Amino acid sequence: MEKNIEVIMLTHQEIKQLLHKGEGIRIEFKEAQNGVPDTLYDTVSSFLNKEGGIILLGVTDDGIVLGLEAANIMQLKQNIVTALNNPDVISPPYALPVRDAEYEEKNILYIRVPVSSLVHKHAGTIYDRENDSDIRVNDDRQISDIYFRKRQNFTETQIFPELKMEHLSQDVFDKVRKLIAAINTTHSWLTASNDRILRDVNFIRRDFSTGEEGLTLAAALVFGKDETIGNILPAYKLDVMVRRENLDRWDDRLPPLRTNLVDTYIRVIDFVKSKWPEKFFIEGEQRKDLRELIFRELVANVIIHREYNTSLASEIIIYTDRVEAKNPNKPRFTGPLDLDTFSAEPKNPNIRRFFSELNWADEIGSGIKNISKYLNYYTLGARPSFIEDDPFITTIPIIIERIGNRFNVLIGLAQLTVDQIGEQKLNLLKGLPLNLELKEIVDIDMLAIEMAKKWEEKSMELDKIRFLINNNIQIQQLKKVESWEEKSGELLKKRGKIILSTLLLTLEPISLEELATSLGYKSKERYRDDYVKPLKDNHLISYTIPENPNDPNQAYVITQRGKDFIGGHRI
């Protein structure tokens, strides 16, 4: 460990060159004679947002080395590292090593700051770098320009000038060649040099804007020794836990993984697969392991699409009924992905390319599609959910509890009759998946209360959908009334009843006229504006003829999101 740190220290010659160049867009000097300079974090933020750079502490603005008192260096380093992990100082936090060096018998500190793929703020303000100055950015257009610029940056392509081949693991290169040989005995990597492999997947990169060439973050993550990865990304880790009995802690887990991505992938997929029974199916003429197909995509997506410029951990949690993954992410928007219409964007394309060589990943966007496809073979009717946010949340349901005979609770609360629903809609309703948190509730009155709470909670995420309930209702009160019409009146506000009724009636296509008539509305226009339009705008129902809204045969039908809402699931 000490040898590794010594090798990657800033050399006397490099310091001399920096002092000669002077302050500029990628170089900053701070005196730091009286502790951490007030402007240090302005510069860290601006470097992260612009092109990266290096900060020397113990040096005047005009390049004179004052040095730092040896007795103060440890406290300075500790204060800076603590602050960089504090979201009140740098948001989102960005862990950086603070290193010491010696120049002409004087002690200095230096911080190498890479360009980040995120937009960072110091004390709530965005900073950009112009020449040798840190500029506060308040103009909306300039802020938009910075965010647009970040869309072009990939975390994995950061060049680390101090990262050398000796900091990579020969064992990982050997393992990769064995994995390649198992699937392609003529692959060029079997006889290629380590350098050639790295260049083939752009893990050695030249930055044509600066002339800098070197190993990238991707090279460290895939082939780095553990101490190398720890030096570059001190907060990086992946947690994999089983929470089936002990939901507050864990029943079983992998030790937190801070190692290379090759070993990480192998260990995680073996662990996750071991927690579920085997199931096979025939595709074409091949017998395939569904667990392998589903979890291969999950684990690869967690690794490939992670935002590595963050101190947050990736998590994969295995529950009784599902697997849930949370991954640090640079979101394009917030909300669920529409599995039929989403367009994938690369997050770490070079790492993806490397994984493709090992047959651990396919083309961009294939992971989500394959999980959806193969999950339905493993558990009929199961649909994964993918929530674009920070973190990105993937939920893969393995066990499904269907609404079944609990349908009486739903149509009762909606104040509909079996005849109004009809046999076909009723069968569809019985087959909808129910939130497993509600599975064990036998008492129908308690079930009604808990389902209504789920609907109210979910409606808070929607625009102009106010599903309100009487939160003061007690189970004893609900049991005193016998009819479902009375129970519904006690528990639901009118708007909630109409929203629920509309969703149930659209389980099969139905016209606006039929909806309004079924619910006793004389003015279909008012009903449309008050209820149908908000449900459609929030993608809980949709047109049956979306390409022609004014078609005389136009009708409405519930979406998958609407079905999830009925069952009390995340939407």
Q: Is the pTM of this model over 0.85?
A: no
| pLDDT for 264 | 97
CA 312 to chain centre: 11
User: pLDDT at position 3, please?
Assistant: 32
**Residue linked to tokens 């079944």:** 404
Rounded to 5°, angle at Cα 504 from 379 and 541:
80
Task: Give residue limits of the domains in the chain.
Answer: 2-153, 154-399, 402-566
Judged against a pLDDT cut of 60, whether residue 140 lies above it is answered with: yes
The CA-based angle 193-199-201, given to 5 degrees, is: 115
11-25, 426-440, 467-481: least confidently modelled range: 467-481
Q: Give the tens place of pLDDT for each residue, 218-265.
A: 999 999 999 999 999 888 999 999 999 988 899 999 999 999 999 999
- pLDDT for the residue 179: 97
pLDDT on residue 4: 36
Note the pLDDT of residue 569.
83
The predicted structure's pLDDT at residue 478: 87
Chain center to CA of 283: 31
Q: Are 2-153 and 154-399 equal in CATH topology?
A: no
Note the CATH architecture for domain 2-153: 2-Layer Sandwich (3.30)
Query: Residue 5: which pLDDT band, with cuts at 50, 70 and 90?
Result: very low
Q: What is the pLDDT of residue 1?
A: 30
Question: For 28-47, what is each residue's pLDDT tens digit?
Answer: 999 999 899 989 999 999 99
Domain 154-399 annotated CATH 3.30.565.60:
yes
Mean pLDDT of 380-397: 88
Q: For residues 2 and 97, what is the distance between their CA atoms, to the nearest angstrom?
A: 14
Tokens representing 83 are: 């602050």
Mean pLDDT value of segment 152-177: 90
Instruction: Tell whether the model's pLDDT for residue 400 goes beyond 70.
Output: yes
Can you tell me the mean pLDDT for 538-557? 94
User: Does the structure show a pLDDT above 70 at 546?
Assistant: yes
Contact 30, 109 (CB under 8 A): no
Higher confidence at residue 218 or residue 476?
A: 218
Give me the mean pLDDT over the 524-544 stretch.
Answer: 94
